[in-house]
């Protein structure tokens, strides 16, 4: 009989996330866990889930590009894309850091608002030139006739800006700032008796309150 790969079960072995975490700052803890994940491929990859105007959920992976002093998470995208249109209709968002190799995950629930133009400009200017050009070439989330057609769009943009001309930020490209209202830290434990510590606050200026949830 062939073994069913879906039947494989991993027994988690991490030390406990003890009750002292309840009095910790969730932002300090998040930064610490990000540092712990530094040796993983794409440690700042996060799954962003949105709900569009028709209440249809979608998820995709983006890269965390910053955490400000208020604990808000930054990412950048084409604002005309599917996620950009969804966030324009409904700013509620769920962000998941899936660090499987560390037997950890973090879920952030909050609201996303556009970053100011000066921050968009500064980050765009720091991107590799190829990434800058593709931001102009790709009409993100829209259909394209073929891979060849996509590459022709890129070639046209490359010709437009040449080899040396600075590439300005497209007006449709920019960042979002996710203001967290809840942050859950999950850590695997033996016998599926996992640790879940959840921090929440009622508004951006509020104090964090923490509870332990059953797995």
143 Cβ contact partners less than 8 Å away, ≥ 6 residues apart:
none
d(CA 88, CA 92): 10
What are the structure tokens assigned to 110, written together? 């909050």
d(CA 171, CA 39): 35
What are the structure tokens assigned to 117, written together? 């133009």
List the catalytic residue out of 127, 192, 196, 212: 192
What are the structure tokens assigned to 39, written together? 């040796």
Could you confirm whether 56 is annotated as catalytic? no
Residue 192 and residue 130 in contact, taking contact as beta carbons nearer than 8 Å: no
Positive or negative torsion for Cα 29, 37, 92, 80: positive
Catalytic (active-site) positions: 192
């Amino acid at each position: 009989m062939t073994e069913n790969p879906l039947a494989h079960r991993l027994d988690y072995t991490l030390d406990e996330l003890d009750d002292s975490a309840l009095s910790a700052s969730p932002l300090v803890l998040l930064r610490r866990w990000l540092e712990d994940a530094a040796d993983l491929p794409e440690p700042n990859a996060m799954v962003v889930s949105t709900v569009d105007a028709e209440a249809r959920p979608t998820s995709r992976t983006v890269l965390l590009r910053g955490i400000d002093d208020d604990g808000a998470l930054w990412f950048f995208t084409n604002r005309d894309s599917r996620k950009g249109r969804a966030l324009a209709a409904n700013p509620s968002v769920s962000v998941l850091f899936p660090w499987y190799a560390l037997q950890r995950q973090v879920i952030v629930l909050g609201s996303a608002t556009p970053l100011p133009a000066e921050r968009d400009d500064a980050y765009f200017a720091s991107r590799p030139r190829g990434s800058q050009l593709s931001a102009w070439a790709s009409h993100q989330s829209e259909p394209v006739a073929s891979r060849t057609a996509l590459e022709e769009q890129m070639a046209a943009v490359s010709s437009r800006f040449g080899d040396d001309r600075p590439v300005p930020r497209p007006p449709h490209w920019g960042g979002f700032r996710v203001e967290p209202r809840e942050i859950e830290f999950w850590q695997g434990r033996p016998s599926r008796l996992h640790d879940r510590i959840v921090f929440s606050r009622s508004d951006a200026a509020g104090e964090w309150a923490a509870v332990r949830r059953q797995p």
